[in-house]
Structure 1
Amino acid sequence: MSDVNEQKFQGYSDNHYQHGMHGLAWISLWLIVGLGVAAGVFGFIYGSMS
């Protein structure tokens, strides 16, 4: 029975790790998108002024 419990815990551990990585991936994705949009807006305004 201990093998079954270890397998369940291992599965839970993997899912928790994957969930954390998924959240981190979304944060990095939106950070990159946000910085890209901000740089594009800044470049557009900077280019329009000169």
Structure 2
Amino acid sequence: MTDASSNDQHFGGFEHNAYQSNMHTLAMISLWLIIVAGVACGIFGFFWGLSH
């Protein structure tokens, strides 16, 4: 078990960091998309309610 973990750490050090930062970026993008979509739906619903 220790061989596998040390091997993985040695081999995937850089790739793991890049993967982590990519996942963080994706999480931030999807979070902002959800926020923007919610705000846009709220504004749209507000104006749609006013116009009807």
Normalised by the size of structure 1, how large is the TM-score? 0.77
- Listed as ranges, the gaps of 5+ residues in structure 1 are none
Aligned equivalent of 2:46, options 37, 40, 44: 44
Distance 1:10 1:25 in 2: 21
Following TM superposition, the consecutive aligned residue runs of length 4 or more in structure 1 with deviations greater than 6 angstroms are none
Q: Paired residues, what number?
A: 46
- AA matched with 2:29: I
**Residue of structure 2 in register with 1:31 after alignment:** 33
Q: Distance in 2 between the 1:26 and 1:36 partners?
A: 15
Give the drift of 1:10: 1.4
Please tell me the root mean square deviation across aligned C-alpha atoms, in Å. Answer: 2.0
Q: Partner of 1:10 in structure 2? A: 12
> Which blocks of at least 5 consecutive residues in structure 2 are unaligned?
1-5
**Shift of residue 23 of structure 1?**
0.4
